[in-house]
Structure 1
């Protein structure tokens, strides 16, 4: 088996690779729609602080409770009496929501890959109608995009089935390439930044009803989008069972977060100075359009190529993450037993097949709408699916602090109590901000509650396992 082979650098690459994926390419446009420049900056500050607190919580729990691996959602079962029905139900439902959120995550990465591939193959954005039934209209670009996305998904599936080490190394190479490339983008953008492009620092924004949003409302609207940029910060924690050293989990989480913050905030803010607000909100490829405006079409194509390499690595990381979550949960007895099956390389074969099959279904969203619309829909629903597990991890950490379990000094409990409290408050804030829209709230609820239909299968043929390894 190859489970305990992931070192610090591979774990860090998984964190950076999963965080710096689709968001860094598409968020400049999404944020410009949601908030003024002032609102965007404030949202980044609030999100950066909140996610730092979450990262510290994840790192602490990974060291204090190494037997609980597979992601932040797994702690839900620990909030109830061990072995109880409530423990199993909480573990199953939180794993379900988090798992589906992960799948939506790699679908967002894959659709962004198709968006940047269109720089080289414009036919992917063709509006030529191939089929029009009156109910469904299929355009050439949408169908071709769906085919490209499907090929990337199943090609990644084949890579992952061959083993964790090989997939991890490919992700590391792609991540190193993207970090260097985006650092160069930041340097170029610093010299080309045009303050006049930003427009009014406190420019008004309106909601769907035409009502003007206050600055606080803009920050709330942008907060869900900025959090998407940090989804994946828990990646090292998810692979805790495969880590070479438990200490590397915390170190990789913090290192990956700091690298990602520099890249995200720098690129998001500097892109505002490369394009006007109108151009930014209308762009399907904001980074490519921005660099093209500075150094011409060649620069745009080079950045698009970097984007493709980056997104290939992110796809590998996200697919691995999506399969690992239910795999580890099944081993702990809180998810369907069939998901615990492995192949000869130690990879979660059943989990990979089912996760990617569900992802294939979600990719149908690219057939009937634009890539940017599909991206916006996916990130809002997926982000809300992540927030519940993040809150659960924070609450479990507070429980450990309250009982004193795994702690030796009062000072340690006070310090980590403040961190866990801030992490919980941040998670609650973004949940409230993200569910202010009724449609988003209902879709998020449906996403999580739909898992109850499969819960009885956990008890099928008496295969429920204990709640520990």
Structure 2
């Protein structure tokens, strides 16, 4: 790939910010207010921000020390085992598989959220008028139109990316810049409309379903799990490290993107608490829109809906790019099905793009009925677990490098990186334990990873034949 077609610092930063600040920002204030008091929310953001920062530093450091391992944090799984062994290949393939499915499902969730924001301007998208019944599934006008809108967005993104990753990255940059400006303008409005009485008492108990009081530490624990989902995508620049103009840009873009997103998240979640009273906020289905309506009237709601549409357009481009790149880079490492190596004349992983979006189209069928949609929501819950495993893997691999001293010449940098790796590993373990506390979720998450074994034979066969060719030419 020519240098002019590679991704620069600002496009990488936009991918990080755009993929993190997607649909979640519009609902997180309500979820946080429900689970924690304002003090608990602030502490949860601080704790999660620190934990993710440690993981981000691990990503950046590994990108510098192991530039040949491209494609995302899940790639490091194979480095934890003996080189060329079944354990190394299988672990790399399974983690790449789970990470790919997680990206795929998450992207379709963003696309369907786009349709819900569009309904602010076109209410017919929510029409419950019945059109027909097929196989026990009742299809309404709103369902069919939502399906159509989501399909158009998916394939429009497909053809946009076909023009080249760099051009798609530029569009993502424009959309991300627009939404960052929009969110900071929202923060300015929030500062103007902020009412201190709405966040009082600043520290107060919350109650579970049984009516038992939840203290501050319990609130932070619960809220921190919610805030973590806001940072999914922080590794976006790492996934595209092989396409970066400079490897140093990957680490810088990841760290800057994290701090931009953190400023937006903390600013918006705290200010919305001051714009709406806590009871109204907890009951709200669209807190940011309701907050703007309270300040500016109906026009405020439309402005926020427009901002949501721009935000989700950028996120869709970024997440499709990410979903396509993951199996392609894994295949280059011998950790995915070899057919995903196919590229077009622009160096675009064409087979990965087509398969990823065809699977995405199948997921979009979840918008046809509420019953299918409920099943898809569960798939997303399971798929989110696939993000946590690569974060843990990257942290453990960094620990391995520190312990063996590989790539290190300075004891000082080794100690610093060791401390960061330990903190990142502890944070990842805590989140995985908390996220898999529900046994049903845990078992289905394991089943998702295990489903990859069906295709493992082809991966190993290709890797084995490639090794034979290498030995023959040596």
* Same-fold call, TM cutoff 0.5: yes
The range that moved more, 124-133 or 88-97, is: 124-133
1:419 partnered with 2:423: no
The answer on whether the counterparts of 1:284 and 1:372 sit within 8 Å (CA) in structure 2 is no
Whether contact under 8 Å (2:205, 2:214) holds in the other structure is no
Query: Distance in 1 between the 2:142 and 2:108 partners?
Result: 18
Using the alignment, how far apart are the partners of 2:151 and 2:465 within structure 1? 35
Matching of residues 239-254 of structure 1 within 5 Å: 239-254=240-255
Q: Could you say what secondary structure the match of 1:46 adopts? A: helix
Whole-angstrom CA distance in 2 between matches of 1:278 and 1:41: 19
Is 1:206–2:208 an aligned residue pair?
A: yes
Aligned to 1:74: 75
Task: Give runs of aligned pairs for residues 59-458 of structure 1, distance below 5 A.
Answer: 59-131=60-132, 135-198=136-199, 200=201, 201-207=203-209, 213-369=214-370, 377=378, 380-458=381-459
Cα 1:210–1:368, aligned 2, differ >3 Å: closer, same or farther? farther
Deviation at 1:375?
A: 9.1
**Alpha-carbon contact 2:100-2:326 (below 8 Å) kept:** yes
The 8 Å contact of residues 145 and 366 in structure 1, kept in 2 or not, is answered as yes
SS of the counterpart of 1:70?
Answer: coil
Superimposed CA distance per residue, residues 161-187 of structure 1 (whole angstroms, 9 cap, x where no aligned partner):
111111011011111111111110001
* Structure label with greater radius of gyration: 2
User: What residue ranges of structure 1 are gaps of 5+ in the alignment?
Assistant: none
How far apart, in 1, do the equivalents of 2:212 and 2:375 lie?
25
Measure, in 1, the Cα distance between the counterparts of 2:183 and 2:372: 22
CA distance in 1, matches of 2:163, 2:115: 25
Gaps in structure 2 of 5+ consecutive residues: none
Q: Using a 3 Å threshold, how does the CA distance of structure 1 residues 187 and 372 change in structure 2: closer, same or farther?
A: farther
* Partner-residue secondary structure (3-state), 1:119: coil
Give, in angstroms, the shift of residue 115 of structure 1. Answer: 1.8
Q: Per the alignment, in what secondary structure is the counterpart of residue 406 of structure 1?
A: coil
Greater mean alpha carbon deviation, residues 302-311 or residues 134-143: 134-143
Note closer, same or farther for the CA distance 1:20–1:170 as it changes in structure 2 (3 Å cut): same
Matched residue SS, 1:112: helix
Q: TM-score, normalised to structure 1's length? A: 0.93
For the aligned residue pairs, the C-alpha RMSD in angstroms reads: 2.5
> What is the CA–CA distance in structure 1 between the aligned matches of 2:130 and 2:447, rounded to whole Å?
33
* SS in structure 2 at match of 1:299: helix
User: Secondary structure of 1:69's match?
Assistant: coil
Q: CA deviation at 1:134?
A: 9.2
Measured against aligned partners, the alpha-carbon deviations of 1:371-405 in whole angstroms (never above 9, x if no partner) come to 99789656543332100000000000000000111
Please give the alpha-carbon distance, in whole angstroms, between the structure 1 residues aligned to 2:365 and 2:444.
Answer: 17
Report the 3-state secondary structure (helix = DSSP H, G, I; strand = E; otherwise coil) of the residue aligned with 2:370. Answer: coil
CA spacing shift, 1:179–1:465, aligned 2, 3 Å: farther
Q: 1:35 to 1:139 in 2, by over 3 A?
A: farther
Q: Deviations over 1:129-170 (max 9, x none)?
A: 334579534333233222211211111111111111110110
Contact 1:37–1:203 (Cα < 8 Å) also in 2: no
SS at match of 1:81: coil
Task: Report if the CA contact (8 A) 1:74-1:95 is conserved.
Answer: yes
Aligned in 2, Cα 1:113/1:442: closer, same or farther, shift over 3 Å?
Answer: same
